[in-house]
A and B are shown apart, each in its own frame.
Chain A
């Protein structure tokens, strides 16, 4: 887990997604190779947009939260706008694809 990703739990998740206009959440597993790649993609996006804020949900630690989010595959990126889910995508994506996903949800483009 990269140091600069805030880890969410079932308790902190609802408050987090409502705490700002746009919130990006990565659902991951520690041993998932594709999740490691996506974390590197996030880091690369941050290099050009330091304010790009992403929080993480560890699928093994929060199975109930996964059910609530209807996530059955990792990695999955979910983008919330004003607390509502506005975009989601599963699997590895390139930095341009991640930027496009976040932009499609209305968030400022990283």
Chain B
């Protein structure tokens, strides 16, 4: 276990953390970026990103690799597979402990992102319930699948699955209307292979004759129906990755970090950015804006503390 002191530690290598790294490096901060898995975060799992200015369409993993290369071009120290085990935010120097090392810095940016929400039912067919079309979609070529969630991700992944050769997609949304952008909804419907059902809540899913038998409730009438498919892909939002921060930072009821417009948290010298903060819109572009502001404020904090 070694101690090293820096100006800034960024925890989380998604787009918010990587953007913060670029701005902090340009501001001259000695910084370290810690990522528990691989840089890119949940965006790595996006089959296609169509709302990132400068690319009409690009795979999430390719986009994240480009941004990581950009960060590396500034000589930023990046440690991947560095899961944070403990944080001390109370002292003047903030400390972060991973399995391999202990790090200290004048200021921190928490950009730990979010994790996909799981299907909130006891499923007897976990092997057929998926959260990554890039990973598991190819196995369903020529088969029928259900996609749960009518946001942008649900529609984007449905289109990806159809492009892989999936025979049909039934997209289930529990609200009365889907939240996805109209353009992607129109494109999905125009394929003729994606059926959208709103006001449907998934109540159960069981294996039956090698397939998945889903029980869905019509939220308007309370009546139940059945959807039989070969596999289920779930995109019903994300929850902030803040378990290690409980009791150390103010969190909102959903678990998101309470941060002001300048990304200040309840602890001086601790900033937050991206999907981990409590906010309404979680997009690549909003995460980049958060990362930008957090880095500029972190640089200001270090200057004022000097």
User: A and B from one assembly?
Assistant: yes
Q: What residues make up the interface of A, taking CB atoms closer than 8 Å to B?
A: 29, 31-37, 40-41, 44, 59-60, 63, 66, 72-75, 92, 94-96
B45 and A63 within 8 A (CB): no
From B130-138, B185-193, B258-266, B298-306, the one touching the partner chain is B130-138
B127 and A72 within 8 A (CB): yes
With A32-B132, A36-B38, A72-B136 known, 18 other A-B pairs at CB within 8 A are A29-B135, A31-B59, A31-B134, A32-B134, A33-B40, A33-B132, A33-B134, A34-B135, A37-B37, A37-B38, A37-B81, A40-B80, A40-B81, A44-B81, A72-B139, A73-B130, A74-B135, A94-B81
Contacts of A75 in B (CB 8 A): 135
B135 and A73 within 8 A (CB): yes
Q: Is B99 an interface residue (CB 8 A)?
A: yes
Alpha-carbon distance A63/B81, docked complex (angstroms): 30
Per-residue contact bits, chain B 141-159, to A (CB 8 Å; 1 contact, 0 not): 0000000000000000000
Alpha-carbon distance A8/B246, docked complex (angstroms): 45
Q: Is B44 an interface residue (CB 8 A)?
A: yes
Alpha-carbon distance A72/B231, docked complex (angstroms): 10
Alpha-carbon distance A2/B61, docked complex (angstroms): 17
Contacts of B136 in A (CB 8 A): 72-74
Q: Is B128 an interface residue (CB 8 A)?
A: yes
Instruction: Tally chain B residues at the interface, Cβ within 8 Å.
Output: 22
Contacts of B217 in A (CB 8 A): none
A59 and B138 within 8 A (CB): yes
A32 and B128 within 8 A (CB): no
A63 and B44 within 8 A (CB): no
Contacts of B5 in A (CB 8 A): none
Contacts of A95 in B (CB 8 A): 81, 99
Contacts of A40 in B (CB 8 A): 38, 80-81
Contacts of B138 in A (CB 8 A): 29, 59-60
Going nearest first, the 10 A-B pairs with the smallest beta carbon separation are A33-B44, A32-B135, A37-B37, A37-B38, A72-B127, A74-B135, A31-B134, A33-B45, A73-B136, A33-B61
Q: Is B83 an interface residue (CB 8 A)?
A: yes
B139 and A63 within 8 A (CB): yes
Listed by A's residue number, 18 A-B pairs whose Cβ atoms lie within 8 Å are A29-B138, A31-B59, A31-B61, A32-B134, A32-B135, A33-B61, A35-B135, A36-B38, A37-B37, A37-B81, A40-B81, A72-B136, A72-B139, A72-B231, A73-B135, A74-B136, A94-B99, A95-B99
Contacts of A36 in B (CB 8 A): 38, 44, 61
Per-residue contact bits, chain B 15-58, to A (CB 8 Å; 1 contact, 0 not): 00000000000000000000001101000110000000000000
Check A59/B45 contact, CB under 8 A, given A31-B134, A33-B40, A94-B81.
Answer: no
